[in-house]
Amino acid sequence: MPGKFRVSKTTNGKFKFNLYAVNGRIILTSQTYATKASALKGVESVRTCGVDLAQFDRRTASNGQPYFVLLAKNKQVIGNSEMYSGLPAMEKGIVSVTKHAADAKLFEDLG
């Protein structure tokens, strides 16, 4: 069973998407985009870059919690993870993105 992308409109009229694992948990949240078309291009970028471990930048927040960002080939941030309790949990999150990115179904929630 594949994961899913959900594209949605924010309260200020911009667009974003989340990538969900099969269990319904959000594993990647995009940056905001001015247009729906740009958000859909972002989804396609995740499909391409999200299967390449070299595109994941592992980081540490100011509070010490690890998280990751997914980078496009041009090094722009496509999306970021939640904050994790430790490095092993973050690595599992990265593996989850690599497993779900290419085949995730696309849904739109633009209401």
Phi, psi of 45 (to 5 degrees): -65, -40
Per-residue pLDDT band at 111 (split at 50, 70, 90): low
Average pLDDT over residues 85-104: 96
Domain positions in the chain are: 4-109
Higher pLDDT: 110 or 48? It is 48
Q: Under CATH, to which class is 4-109 assigned?
A: mainly beta
Q: What is the pTM of this model?
A: 0.92
pLDDT of res. 41: 96
DSSP string, 29-42: EEPPBSSHHHHHHH
pLDDT in tens, 35-94: 999 999 999 999 999 999 999 999 999 999 999 999 999 999 999 999 999 999 999 999
